[in-house]
Amino acid sequence: MLTLIPDWLDAEHILTSFGPAAIWVAAAIVFIECGALFPILPGDSLLFTAGLLASQGKLNIAVVLVGCFLAAVIGDQVGYAFGKKAGPSIFQRPNSRLFKQQHVERAN
């Protein structure tokens, strides 16, 4: 079947090719997506596919729920801590190519 995305971004491929470790791979992807704001990873479709596979008995739904919940909460807290530590120094920098002080003033 022809797909437009590479296999490493295909949620079903990720969940079926890692065997018993698939849930931990899914949790790691959810952690990275929630904490590092790395939007190219298939977090939402991965959770949907994990639920679908769990409904078919291929994954343990309890482990999917607990593992992905913890990964999302911990990832969110890591992202918050990083932003709290790095955020003020970014806002105090002079203008750069990607970050302009006038945009901060206008947002306030």
Check: pTM over 0.75? Answer yes or no: no
At residue 2, the pLDDT reads 53
CA dist 97 and 108 (Å) reads 20
Cα–Cα dist 10/50, whole Å:
12
Query: What is residue 6's predicted lDDT score, i.e. its pLDDT?
Result: 63
Contact indicator for 87, 80 with CB cutoff of 8 Å: no
Q: Are 22 and 59 in contact (CB under 8 A)?
A: yes
Between residues 55 and 3, which one has the greater pLDDT?
Answer: 55
Q: What residues contact 13, with CB distance under 8 A and at least 6 apart?
A: 7
Length of the chain: 108
Instruction: Tell me the per-residue pLDDT of 23-67, one tens digit each, with 9 for 90 and over.
Output: 888 888 889 888 876 667 777 888 888 888 888 888 888 998 999
Tokens 């006038």 — which residue?
Answer: 102
